[in-house]
């Protein structure tokens, strides 16, 4: 079967690809920025094809083949703009529908959110409107509505993990008493995968959820129990949604926009309506405790396939296209260039590819931390995102307060773009040619403030960047 997979670079889409390939399907993946893929998948047998297309730009959809049998709609824009995401989501859905109706597609599978409460947040109401926008007489629509998704790298899992592991005592908003039904990510994938081509599921909608009905407070406490931690939680009625958003932003690795969207949704009870979908697809969802335990197995094995932090919704600056930043500017810029001779290319590359996250930046760690705290104070990402994998880097990955623009070990080059709050733009490049390691920091200032900033931090750059390249060059 030829399957169209939208959202292929997202949290769910990345995990769905190997399941579809293993079953022998051919996959077509429209992506906004094909540079993000960067030979990530082996395409020797032609089983997976990436085309550059943006569903907010109808003129680009002509790049997508029309001879597809089924499709997954996994596009979400919940954090792109606090005021416009609902408009963007509906526009994407309408453009997708126009494409699908001009193709041979027979079934579209859409992953939405549970929307049974009479009072819905803007985020959940948008998901509901997208479902209506996708309905068509030309193809069958299969809708799965999930609640909180629990899995390694999911936003809900990482937020709960941050709260539990950082705070022995929590003074929390009253929405922590809201009930929900968490669902393991592996079960979400099972529903999506097993429903493909099932005619008995054409034009149907099903809530999918785990067996536990829990409050967010119970989720935090059970998570702490699994991790062997003693935690105390006190809920207060006076914390406003804005204050709650700031609380999540400063304590966890989420962005403020995402925190605000989540807070607005977390005040709404997310309880699913029972159906016969589990029997039809032979799925028995695991409970919350098991879902958390399975997530940590993936973490301990360093086998996290996808993380919400690598999505552009976690970005402080870069929004859609990494290739827009791959050509480092040369004019009107300040540079800090350093070069060292090396003896062992592979050893140096391994160090470069492990930079950031728990490894740190090799020199002046306290200065990097201070810069991260300053960035967070001003609403930036700080150092909280870490990295997806301790030794693997791909274009599009989040790396502390940087974004990976280019990563190729064979070419010996890693290029990072700064996502911290800056009066300008910054790049950091590591490149090996022959027996030389070159490290270049480039800053393109914006106005007088940018120029003053560069001169203010130059003494720290000399100290930090010298120490960093010296440590990297040592085999």
Q: Is residue 461 part of a domain?
A: yes
Res 373 pLDDT > 80: yes
Classify residue 315: in a domain, yes or no: no
Same domain, 31 and 143: yes
Could you give the angle at the alpha carbon of 381 between the alpha carbons of 327 and 155, nearest 5°?
110
230 and 339 belong to one structural domain: no
Torsion, CA 136, CA 137, CA 139, CA 141, rounded to 10: 50
| Sign of the torsion angle spanned by Cα atoms 275, 181, 281, 13 | positive
Q: Mark whether 282 and 339 lie in a shared domain.
A: no
- C-alpha 400/C-alpha 381 separation (Å) is 8
Instruction: Choose the most confident range, by mean pLDDT, from 153-167, 316-330, 457-471.
Output: 457-471
| 164 shares its domain with 77 | yes
pLDDT tops 80 at residue 285: yes
Q: Which of 9-13, 37-41, 211-215, 457-461 has the highest mean pLDDT?
A: 211-215
**Has residue 151 got a pLDDT over 90?**
no
Is the per-residue pLDDT at 390 higher than 90? no
Give the Cα separation of 399 and 387 in Å (integer). Answer: 5
- In sequence order, which residues have a C-beta less than 8 Å from that of residue 402 and are 6 or more positions away? 356, 416, 417, 418, 419, 428
Domain presence at residue 320: no
- Residues 6+ away with beta carbon under 8 Å from 157: 149, 150, 151, 292, 295
pLDDT score of 264: 63
Look at residue 318 and tell me if it is in a domain: no
Instruction: Determine what percent of the chain is predicted with pLDDT higher than 70.
Output: 83
Please tell me the predicted confidence (pLDDT) of residue 239: 64
- Residue where one domain finishes, among candidates 301, 317, 347: 301
pLDDT digits (tens, 9 = 90+) for 81-140: 445 667 888 888 999 999 999 999 999 999 988 877 667 667 777 778 888 889 999 999
CATH number for 463? 3.30.530.20
What integer is the mean pLDDT of 27-53?
A: 78
Q: What is the pLDDT of residue 80?
A: 46
- Considering the domain boundaries, does residue 133 fall inside one? yes
In the prediction, which pLDDT does 428 show? 94
Quick one: tokens of 319?
């929004």
Q: What is the pLDDT of residue 33?
A: 76
Q: Are residues 279 and 347 in the same domain?
A: no
Other CB atoms closer than 10 Å to residue 459's CB: what's the count? Answer: 9
* Whether residue 167 has pLDDT greater than 90: no
Do 447 and 340 share a structural domain?
A: yes
Which of 349, 371, 370, 471 is closest to 419 using CA atoms?
371
Which of 44-58, 214-228, 378-392 reaches the highest mean pLDDT? 214-228
Same-domain check for residues 353 and 238: no
Looking at 243, 266, 301, the residue that finishes a domain is: 301
Question: 53-94 pLDDT, tens per residue?
Answer: 988 889 999 999 999 999 999 987 654 444 566 788 888 899
> Distances in Å between the alpha carbon of 90 and those of 70, 139, 188, 443?
21, 18, 23, 38
Pair (170, 227) in one structural domain: yes
Q: What is the CATH number of the domain that holds 148?
A: 3.40.50.720
Report pLDDT for 311: 55
Q: What pLDDT does 258 receive? A: 66
Beta strand pairing call for 436-445 and 424-433:
antiparallel
Is residue 439 scored above 60 in pLDDT? Answer: yes
Quote the DSSP letter at residue 220: H
- Identify whether residues 97 and 229 lie together within a single domain: yes
State which of 32-36, 241-245, 389-393 shows the largest mean pLDDT: 389-393
Q: Is the pLDDT of residue 306 over 70?
A: no
> Which residue from 195, 193, 185, 198 is spatially nearest to 23, judged by alpha carbons?
193
Residues 297 and 349 in one domain: no
Q: Read off the tokens for 190.
A: 């099972």
Please indicate, yes or no, whether residues 280 and 149 belong to a single structural domain of this protein.
yes
Contact 183, 148 (CB under 8 A): yes
The residue ranges of DSSP E strands in 373-422, in sequence order, are 398-399, 402-408, 413-418
CA-CA distance, 406 to 416, in Å (whole number)? 7
The chain-wide mean pLDDT, for the chain, equals: 84
Q: Is residue 57 part of a domain?
A: yes
Structural domain includes residue 309: no
Read off φ and ψ for residue 411, nearest 5 degrees. -85, -10
Task: Answer whether 244's CB lies under 8 Å from 263's CB.
Answer: yes
Whether 350 and 219 share a structural domain: no
Quote the tokens at residue 235. 């809920």
Beta partners for 3? Answer: 27, 70
Position 417 confidence tier, pLDDT thresholds 50, 70, 90:
very high
Q: Evaluate whether residue 311 is within a structural domain.
A: no
What pLDDT shows up at residue 181?
Answer: 93
Percent of the chain scoring above 90 in pLDDT: 41
Give kind and range of the element (H or E) at residue 134: helix 122-134
Buried b or exposed e, range 284-301, using 16+ CB within 10 angstroms:
ebbebebbbebbeebeee
Looking at residue 467, its pLDDT comes to: 93
Nearest Cα residue to 420 out of 384, 392, 456, 465: 384
The per-residue pLDDT for range 189-204, each reduced to its tens digit, is 999 999 999 999 999 9
- DSSP class per residue in 75-100: ---TTT-TTTHHHHHHHHHHHHHHHH
Nearest residue to 74 (alpha-carbon basis) of 118, 169, 10? 10
CA angle at 242 for the pair 239 and 244, rounded to the nearest 5°: 50
Domain coverage including residue 140: 2-301
Pairing relationship of beta strands 232-236 and 334-341 according to DSSP bridges: unpaired
Distance CA 402, CA 396 (A): 10
Domain total of the chain = 2
pLDDT of residue 41: 66
Question: pLDDT tens, 168-184?
Answer: 888 887 778 888 999 99
């Amino acid at each position: 079967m030829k399957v169209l997979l939208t959202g292929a670079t997202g949290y769910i889409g990345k995990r769905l690809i190997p399941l579809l390939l293993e079953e022998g399907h051919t996959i077509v993946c429209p992506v906004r920025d094909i540079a993000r893929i960067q030979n990530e998948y082996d395409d020797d047998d032609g089983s997976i094809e990436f085309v550059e297309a943006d569903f907010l730009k109808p003129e680009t959809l002509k790049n997508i083949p029309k001879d597809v049998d089924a499709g997954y709609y996994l596009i979400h824009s919940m954090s792109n703009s606090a005021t416009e995401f609902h408009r963007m989501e509906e526009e994407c859905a309408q453009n997708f529908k126009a494409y699908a109706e001009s193709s041979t597609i027979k079934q579209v599978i859409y992953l939405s959110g549970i929307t049974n409460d009479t009072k819905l947040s803007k985020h959940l109401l948008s998901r509901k409107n997208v479902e209506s926008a996708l309905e068509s007489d030309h193809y069958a629509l299969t809708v799965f509505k999930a609640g909180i998704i629990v899995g390694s790298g999911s936003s809900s899992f990482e937020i709960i993990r941050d709260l539990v592991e950082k705070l022995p005592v929590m003074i929390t908003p009253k929405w922590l008493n809201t009930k929900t039904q968490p669902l393991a990510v592996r079960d979400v994938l099972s529903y999506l995968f097993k429903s493909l081509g099932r005619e008995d599921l054409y034009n149907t909608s099903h809530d999918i959820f785990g067996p536990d009905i829990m409050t967010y407070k119970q989720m935090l406490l059970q998570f702490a129990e699994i991790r062997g931690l003693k935690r105390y939680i006190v809920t207060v009625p006076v914390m406003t949604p804005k204050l709650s958003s700031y609380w999540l932003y400063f304590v966890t690795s989420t962005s403020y926009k995402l925190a605000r969207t989540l807070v607005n949704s977390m005040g709404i009870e997310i309880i699913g309506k029972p159906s016969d979908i589990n029997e039809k697809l032979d799925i028995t969802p695991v409970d919350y405790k098991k879902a958390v335990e399975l997530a940590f197995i993936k973490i301990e094995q360093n086998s996290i396939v996808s993380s919400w932090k690598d999505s552009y919704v976690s970005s402080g600056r870069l929004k859609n296209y990494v290739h827009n930043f791959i050509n480092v500017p040369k004019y009107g810029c300040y540079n800090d260039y350093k070069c060292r001779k090396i003896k062992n290319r592979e050893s140096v590359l391994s160090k470069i590819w492990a930079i950031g996250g728990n490894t740190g930046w090799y020199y002046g760690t306290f200065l990097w931390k201070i810069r991260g705290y300053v960035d967070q104070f001003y609403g930036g990402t700080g150092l909280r995102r870490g990295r997806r994998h301790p030794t693997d880097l791909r274009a599009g990955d989040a790396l502390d307060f940087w974004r990976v623009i280019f990563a190729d070990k064979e070419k010996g080059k890693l290029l990072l773009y700064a996502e911290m709050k800056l009066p300008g733009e910054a790049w950091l490049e590591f490149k090996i040619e022959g027996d030389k390691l070159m490290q270049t920091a480039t800053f393109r200032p914006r106005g007088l403030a940018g120029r003053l900033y560069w001169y203010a931090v130059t003494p720290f750059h000399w100290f930090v960047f010298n120490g960093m390249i010296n440590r990297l060059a040592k085999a």
